[in-house]
């Protein structure tokens, strides 16, 4: 609908004397001001030297001349805004289509099957899955879901951090202070491994030789020459993955591919990358290391191979994207959902890939997220003041059990996820339990509860044998009208959310949608056998449930039966 209105407004504006007008349509905050509005008259008032109100009136006059049946009229408001009203019959038509499309309401094929790798979660092996990784998992999963719903071919990739100097440190610590048998039998082996990793950093402050010894161990690991070391590394991965998968199960998240960094660390693969870079004259030797220096110091230099010949994060990322490009072919979009501390790094990486001609504009996206903050500041694995994700989930479940044991799992996970997704992911989050579990505020449970309530209304109506139907009288109720009109924005918000890689746009929409429903619910007797508008009210209630469920589903949030 938005394209059609834009087109018609453009035609009317040209007739009113504007040459090549740019039309920006918005939804007025206050629905009584129409379904769409534009300030086009105010923008072109200076150029045409006509008062904005007069120009707006001219445009509206032209616009109203060939109004499509979906619109009732356009009016001029305030200093020269043009407000456009959708005809009730078009609103009803939308509600009817929600009910028939059910879980497919909002689905489209605008993606045209374009391939998009959404890489997210990507925890590091033998380090805990902290609440920091949770952000990447939740945000990346939502982005992948939305793109899939919009007709893209989505490949979900978990880029595990299973390679790098930290393994030298870990293997050194296991050898020096660890008890391998105990680790293998432990209930949570990752926690044991992290404790050893933390110990390494404490002890390395005292004995300066540890760092070198660890580096050397990593070099041996990378050479693949010592099978005992390689075996221990493999075991660490196995133990970690087992624990990660428990968390993914709880979160209801899964992946298509789970290649680790190690898959892209072989000497052949890194040599291939070095050769490619060399052939494009992008490599410079600096203090025995191979680096890329950016023109005009656009970014600081990026190391590709260290002086001891070992690979580095960047080498492996280039090898990863090279593999992806060769495997999935052209027209491939890659989204990396990774914390904001890596923003500069991803700019450097993308700049190199751009210089190599690996992608077209818009095909490399770093979706960055801020930190979780607790009152005592940032958390770090090295210092050991880690917040464990499974502890957070347990705590949320405990709180949700207090509400209703039956729905505790869905409510706990929904609460944690929504607390994240309702905010612009670039920002930091201050963790606040009261906000997360709040049943009346902008929380997961609040949205789930709106749905559960609506379901209860339908159950009651069903018991009474009432019809759910849009073909009868459409009752003249302001709150119903507002809810129904707002449901028409769903698809548009999804597209906006996808294009800007911001699930919080969808989340914000759902918060408003729930509020519109709650007002309708509070102000109206929905189930009233004697009233002829009841079937229609039930239909809007049903459409609300589908819209809300679809939206929550895309955010990875389930709606329980009861709460
Ligand atoms: N494992 C990394 C970390 O937790 C994130 C990996 C991000 N993805 C990438 N292609 N570099 O810090």
Residue nearest to atom 11 of ligand 1 (CA): 317
Atom of ligand 1 nearest to the CA of 317: 10
Q: Sort 10 into a burial class: Cβ within 10 Å, 0-12 / 13-18 / 19+.
A: middle
The H-assigned helical ranges of 40-188 are 40-48, 52-65, 88-101, 131-149, 165-177, 180-185
CA–centroid distance, 408 to ligand 1, in Å, is 32
CA–centroid distance, 338 to ligand 1, in Å, is 6
Q: Which residue has the tokens 């990739």?
A: 157
The H-assigned helical ranges of 254-301 are 267-279
Task: Label residues 441-455 b or e (16+ Cβ within 10 Å = b).
Answer: ebbbbbbbbbbbbbb
CA distance 414 to 150: 23
Contacts of 449 (CB under 8 A, 6+ apart): 439, 563
Choose among 382, 312, 381: nearest CA to 352: 312
Choose among 339, 337, 402: nearest CA to 120: 337
Residue nearest to atom 1 of ligand 1 (CA): 161
Strands 36-38 and 81-86: antiparallel
CA–centroid distance, 375 to ligand 1, in Å, is 26
Q: State the helix-helix crossing angle for 534-554 and 444-463, rounded to 10 degrees.
A: 150
Q: State the helix-helix crossing angle for 503-523 and 408-421, rounded to 10 degrees.
A: 120
Beta bridge partners of 338: 368
CA–centroid distance, 150 to ligand 1, in Å, is 27
Question: How many CA within 13 A on the CB side of residue 278?
Answer: 9
Q: What angle do CA 531, 32, 5 make, to 5 degrees?
A: 105
CA–centroid distance, 299 to ligand 1, in Å, is 20
Contact between residue 160 and residue 295 where contact means Cβ atoms under 8 Å apart: no
Per-residue pLDDT of the chain (563 residues; tens, 9 = 90+): 888 999 999 999 999 999 999 999 999 988 888 999 999 999 999 989 999 999 999 999 999 998 999 999 999 999 999 999 999 999 999 999 999 999 999 999 999 999 999 999 999 987 777 777 889 999 999 999 999 999 999 999 999 999 988 899 999 999 999 998 999 888 888 888 988 998 999 999 999 999 999 999 999 998 889 999 999 999 999 999 988 998 999 999 999 999 999 999 888 999 999 999 999 999 999 999 999 999 999 999 999 998 888 888 999 999 999 999 999 998 999 999 999 999 999 999 999 999 999 999 999 999 999 987 765 555 444 554 556 777 888 888 998 998 889 999 999 999 999 999 999 999 988 877 888 888 778 999 999 999 999 999 999 999 999 999 999 999 999 999 999 999 999 999 999 999 999 999 999 999 999 999 999 999 999 999 999 999 999 999 999 999 999 999 999 999 999 98
Pocket of ligand 1 (CB under 6 A): 119, 122, 124, 159, 161, 317, 336, 338
Contact between residue 513 and residue 548 where contact means Cβ atoms under 8 Å apart: yes
Helix (H, G, I), strand (E, B) or coil at 366: strand
CA distance 95 to 480: 12
Residue nearest to atom 6 of ligand 1 (CA): 122
Ligand 1: which of 130, 342, 364 to mutate, most ligand atoms within 8 Å of CB?
A: 342
Q: Cα dihedral sign for 411, 412, 415, 418?
A: negative
386 DSSP assignment: P
CA–centroid distance, 78 to ligand 1, in Å, is 51
Ligand 1: which of 117, 122, 197 to mutate, most ligand atoms within 8 Å of CB?
A: 122
CA–centroid distance, 120 to ligand 1, in Å, is 8
Q: How many CB atoms lie within 10 A of CB 220?
A: 15
CA–centroid distance, 350 to ligand 1, in Å, is 15
Beta bridge partners of 160: 260
First to last CA, the chain: 37
Contact between residue 173 and residue 201 where contact means Cβ atoms under 8 Å apart: no
Distances (CA, A) of 85 to 39, 69, 201, 262: 15, 11, 65, 58
CA–centroid distance, 330 to ligand 1, in Å, is 24
Choose among 293, 533, 511: nearest CA to 421: 511
pLDDT, residue 381, reads 45
pTM: 0.93
CA–centroid distance, 558 to ligand 1, in Å, is 28
Atom of ligand 1 nearest to the CA of 320: 10
The H-assigned helical ranges of 285-363 are 313-328, 343-355
Q: What angle do CA 454, 546, 155 make, to 5 degrees?
A: 140
pLDDT, residue 373, reads 75
Atom of ligand 1 nearest to the CA of 346: 11
161 DSSP assignment: B
Chain-centre distance for alpha carbon 416: 14
CA distance 198 to 126: 11
Task: Label residues 26-56 b or e (16+ Cβ within 10 Å = b).
Answer: ebeeebebbbbbbbbbbbbbeebebebbebb
CA distance 84 to 64: 10
Ligand 1: which of 237, 259, 334, 338 to mutate, most ligand atoms within 8 Å of CB?
A: 338
Choose among 182, 142, 167, 202: nearest CA to 337: 142
Strands 364-369 and 332-339: parallel
Atom of ligand 1 nearest to the CA of 161: 1
The counts of H helices and E strands in the chain are: 21, 12
Q: Sort 226 into a burial class: Cβ within 10 Å, 0-12 / 13-18 / 19+.
A: middle
Question: How many CA within 13 A on the CB side of residue 164?
Answer: 16
CA distance 71 to 505: 26
Would you report the helix, strand and coil content of the chain in percent, each value rounded to 5? Answer: 55, 10, 30
Structure tokens given for 377: 């500041």
260 DSSP assignment: B
CA–centroid distance, 326 to ligand 1, in Å, is 21
Ligand 1: which of 134, 159, 334, 381 to mutate, most ligand atoms within 8 Å of CB?
A: 159
Atom of ligand 1 nearest to the CA of 338: 7
CA–centroid distance, 134 to ligand 1, in Å, is 13
Question: How many CA within 13 A on the CB side of residue 69?
Answer: 4
CA–centroid distance, 130 to ligand 1, in Å, is 14
Atom of ligand 1 nearest to the CA of 160: 1
CA–centroid distance, 245 to ligand 1, in Å, is 18
Longest CA–CA separation in the chain, Å: 86
Q: Which residue has the tokens 């945000």?
A: 139
Ligand 1: which of 161, 315, 324, 371 to mutate, most ligand atoms within 8 Å of CB?
A: 161
Structural domains of the chain in order of their starting residue, each with its CATH number: 2-86 (3.30.1360.70), 129-374 (3.40.50.620), 404-554 (1.10.730.10)
Beta bridge partners of 153: 115
CA distance 33 to 29: 8
CA–centroid distance, 217 to ligand 1, in Å, is 22
Residue nearest to atom 10 of ligand 1 (CA): 317
Q: How many CB atoms lie within 10 A of CB 206?
A: 7
Residue nearest to atom 4 of ligand 1 (CA): 123
Atom of ligand 1 nearest to the CA of 345: 11
């Amino acid at each position: 609908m938005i394209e059609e209105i834009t087109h018609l407004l453009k035609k009317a504006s040209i007739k009113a004397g504007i040459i090549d007008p740019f039309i920006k349509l918005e939804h007025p905050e206050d629905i009584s001001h129409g379904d769409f509005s534009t300030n086009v008259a105010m923008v072109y008032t200076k150029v045409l030297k006509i008062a904005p109100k007069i120009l707006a009136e001219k445009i509206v006059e032209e616009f109203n001349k060939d109004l499509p049946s979906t619109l009732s009229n356009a009016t001029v408001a305030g200093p020269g805004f043009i407000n456009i009203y959708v005809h009730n019959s078009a609103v009803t038509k939308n509600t009817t289509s929600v009910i028939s499309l059910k879980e497919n309401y909002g689905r489209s094929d605008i993606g045209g099957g374009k391939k998009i790798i959404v890489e997210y979660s990507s925890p590091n092996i033998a380090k805990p899955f902290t609440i920091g990784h949770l952000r990447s998992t939740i945000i990346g999963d939502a982005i992948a879901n939305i793109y899939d719903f919009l007709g893209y071919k989505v490949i979900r990739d978990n880029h595990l951090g299973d390679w790098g100097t930290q393994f030298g440190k870990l293997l050194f610590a296991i050898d020096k202070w660890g008890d391998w048998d105990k680790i293998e039998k432990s209930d949570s082996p990752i926690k044991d491994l992290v404790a050893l990793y933390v110990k390494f950093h404490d002890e390395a402050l005292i004995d300066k030789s540890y760092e070198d010894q660890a580096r050397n161990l990593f070099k041996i690991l990378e050479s693949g020459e010592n099978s005992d070391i390689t075996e221990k590394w493999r075991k660490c991965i196995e133990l970690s993955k087992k624990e990660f998968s428990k968390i993914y199960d709880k979160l209801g998240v899964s992946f298509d591919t789970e290649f680790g960094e190690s898959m892209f660390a072989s000497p052949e693969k890194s040599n291939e990358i070095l050769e490619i870079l060399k052939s494009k004259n992008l490599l410079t030797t600096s203090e025995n290391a191979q680096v890329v220096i950016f023109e005009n110091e656009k970014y600081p230099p990026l190391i590709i191979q260290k002086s001891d010949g070992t690979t580095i994060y960047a080498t492996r990322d280039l090898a990863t994207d090279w593999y992806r490009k060769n495997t999935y072919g052209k027209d491939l979009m890659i989204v990396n959902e990774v914390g904001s501390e890596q923003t500069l790094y991803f700019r450097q990486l993308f700049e190199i890939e751009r210089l190599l001609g690996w992608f077209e504009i818009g095909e490399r996206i770093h979706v960055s997220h801020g930190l979780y903050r607790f009152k005592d500041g940032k958390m770090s694995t090295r210092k050991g003041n880690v917040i464990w994700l499974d502890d957070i989930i347990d705590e949320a479940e405990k709180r949700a059990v207090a509400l209703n044991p039956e729905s505790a799992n869905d409510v706990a996970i929904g609460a944690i996820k929504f607390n994240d997704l309702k905010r612009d992911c670039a920002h930091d989050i201050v963790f606040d339990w009261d906000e997360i579990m709040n049943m009346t505020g902008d929380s997961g449970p609040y949205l789930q509860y709106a749905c559960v309530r609506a379901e209860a209304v339908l159950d009651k109506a069903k018991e009474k044998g009432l019809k759910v139907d849009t073909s009868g009288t459409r009752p003249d109720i302001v709150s119903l009208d507002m809810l129904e009109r707002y449901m028409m924005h769903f698809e548009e918000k999804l597209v906006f959310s996808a294009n800007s890689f911001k699930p919080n746009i969808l989340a914000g929409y759902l918060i408003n949608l729930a509020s519109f429903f709650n007002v309708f619910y509070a102000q109206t007797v929905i189930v009233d056998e004697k009233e002829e508008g009841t079937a229609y009210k039930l239909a809007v209630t049903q459409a609300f449930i589908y819209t809300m469920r679809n939206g929550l589903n895309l955010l990875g949030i389930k709606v329980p039966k009861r709460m």
